[in-house]
Amino acid sequence: MAETWKTVAYLEDVTSINHGGSGQTTAQLAINALSAVSGGTNEHVLTKDTGTGNAIWKAAGGGADAFTVKVDAAAAAGYIGAADSDGVLRTGSGLTYADGGDFVTLTAEGGGGVCKFWGQDVDSVTQGTWLFLVGNYPYYSHFYNSTHADGDEVHFSAFLGAGTYTLKFLCPLRTDQGIIKIYVDAVLVGTFDAYGSDYDNVFTDAVEVGSSGVKDIKMVVDGKNASSSNHYCFFTFLSFYRTA
């Protein structure tokens, strides 16, 4: 019986891709070569291209390299997005945002509620001598200018958030008092003629604060009623009640 010999070839060298091999010496290098990873971009994924049907390296989902949040200038006030119902970030009362292009700055608006000043809260005295006059009850105690001169002036300071406030100035009416003016950052916000005889008088006025920050609040005696005998200023407290 004739014997049939079969020749078996042992491949000792790498076989090129066009001959069915990987053309590489290790499994990892073979995967890299077959997937053309050298031509890809870092952190991209190998996916099927819609146009050609071929495998291609591209950003996941066909988007940009990094996820971004767009601040749409046409969005309704207080929203980030195209409309007030589909923004990815919505700011509420007391929080605002500023579009910085590649970033968004969120700012907490403090200073809501009530900001109240008593005589002991004075930061500085610009003119005059100011003293405490203690009464039998807290609201009958006053901070006043013993020098009773036109132009006597004191300053307070506090953080006020942008918004609308009601200014309340508790000051008894007397026949020897002057006209009291209140300023916030050099803007006149209240003028009160303290001449009269109502001991429990409270002055009120509406105040708009345009921007948030620490405010300089000035109280000054500026003139007097023609019937008043002097330029005193007796006050119990000065307050800002935020209403909007």
Q: Summarize the confidence of residues 147-167 as an average pLDDT.
A: 92
Query: Average pLDDT of 7-13?
Result: 55
The set of residues, in sequence order, having a beta carbon less than 8 Å from that of 80 and lying 6+ positions away, is: 69, 70, 71, 72, 87, 88, 89, 90, 91, 97, 104
Residue 92 dihedral angles phi and psi, to the nearest 5°: -105, -165
pTM: 0.56
- What the block records as the tokens of 242 is 């935020």
Predicted pLDDT at 77 = 57
CA distance 238 to 121: 10
Instruction: Provide the percentage of residues in the chain whose pLDDT is more than 70.
Output: 66
Q: How far apart are CA 145 and CA 174, in angstroms?
A: 14
Q: Higher pLDDT residue, 48 or 61?
A: 48
Q: What is the pLDDT of residue 51?
A: 80
The whole-angstrom distance between residue 158's C-alpha and the CA centroid of its chain comes to: 17
Distance from C-alpha of 145 to C-alpha of 151, rounded to nearest angstrom: 10
pLDDT band for position 68 (50/70/90)?
very low
CB 184 within 8 A of CB 217: yes
Average pLDDT, the chain: 77
Domains of the chain: residue spans and CATH: 17-62 (no CATH), 79-108 (no CATH), 114-242 (2.60.120.260)
CA distance 24 to 90: 54
DSSP SS3 for 182: strand
The tens digit of pLDDT for each residue in 212-229 reads 889 999 999 999 999 999
Token pair, residue 233, equals 């200023």
Mean pLDDT score, 146-164? 92
Confidence of residue 34 (pLDDT cuts 50, 70, 90): confident
